[in-house]
Structure 1
């Protein structure tokens, strides 16, 4: 179990370390930075989608539902945005605590979860930051490309809330 903890923590620590080591982007580069983090995960043409376990399927549906509710809100207020960020964080925490996947899909999943957590953290910092939704949408779009979850809903609407 100890080696699994190291495998789980390593990608997150590397991402955090790289984020802190990166130089501050020049003014006006925020949109480029967001686009970089929202970019789709490259998937080989011969990739056989991994089989998700029940906690993964439930957690990704919860994250998707929270983001979809926020996207559909006409004028979400600060509390709605913070509730959605909290719902995503709860779903991610449950997936970390309960998913049991082989190493390769587990590492890929952590990349998705890191983007969900980053978006939720950005929204907690600034609930009006609609650009924070981009990495979350991208993670939810990448999930069905990586995992064979036939019941997963289609992509969230991508209609920014006004």
Structure 2
């Protein structure tokens, strides 16, 4: 059964050109039926594995450097960088199913932000969506040294 969250992630992935995201949702053995939303691991943060830490740090770098007043070309670079890192996260996914489902909610937000800065031509709102996803990430994943946005 496809849940509402899966449909949203699939739609956003397809809109952003995320063929790998579609493959991930339907082809590599993870079950995304574990709650369908943001959830903690029995009240604790999920452990972030190395690929998750690397991908999220790269996404953070892209978003930290982004300016809502950037050119259309700058927004294309931002969106492409987000998509590449989302594809990296999905291809290297090693999380338990419930952690994976939580990550996919954030991935949907990242893809929405990338879509807003390019196809919807709303960089201010898109960057805000991207930043919110990155501010949500450390609330659910234990990522030692996550700098947030105070250091940019």
Normalization by structure 1: what TM-score?
0.67
Q: Which residue is 1:55 aligned to?
A: 51
The structure that is helix-richer by fraction is 1
Unaligned runs of 5+ in 2: 13-36
Are 1:92 and 2:91 counterparts? no
Contact 1:88-1:117 at 8 Å conserved across structures: yes
Structure 2 residue 66 is the aligned partner of structure 1 residue 80: no
Larger Rg: 1
What SS is found at the alignment partner of 2:118? helix
Aligned counterpart in structure 2 of residue 148 of structure 1, from 139, 142, 150: 142
Deviation of 1:144 after TM superposition, in Å, equals: 0.5
The answer to whether the aligner puts 1:64 opposite 2:60 as a matched pair is: yes
Residues 18 and 156 from structure 1, CA distance in 2 versus in 1: closer, same or farther, beyond 3 angstroms? farther
- C-alpha displacement of 1:133: 1.8
Deviation for aligned residue 1:10: 5.4
Distance in 2 (alpha carbons) for counterparts of 1:11 and 1:57: 27
Moved segments of 4+, more than 2 Å: 9-14, 16-19, 41-44, 126-129, 155-158
Q: What residue in structure 2 maps to residue 14 of structure 1? A: 7
Structure 1 position 128, deviation (Å): 4.5
Do the aligned partners of residues 90 and 10 (structure 1) sit closer, same or farther apart at CA in structure 2, a change above 3 Å counting?
farther
Is the 8 Å Cα contact of residues 52 and 147 (structure 1) preserved in structure 2?
yes
**Aligned-partner Cα distance in 2 for 1:156–1:88:** 20
Root-mean-square deviation (CA, aligned residues, Å) is 3.1
Residue 34 (structure 1) aligns with? none
Is 1:132 paired with 2:126?
yes
Tell which deviates more after alignment, 122-131 or 139-148.
122-131
**Which whole-Å CA distance do the structure 1 matches of 2:76 and 2:151 have between them?**
19
The superposition leaves residues 62-107 of structure 1 with CA deviations (integer Å, 9 ceiling, x where unpaired) of: 1110011113x8x411111110111011110100000200011110
Secondary structure at 2:88 match in 1:
helix
Can you list the C-alpha shifts for 1:3-52, whole angstroms capped at 9, x where unaligned?
xxx9xx85653326899xxxxxxxxxxxxxxxxxxxxx8777x7211101
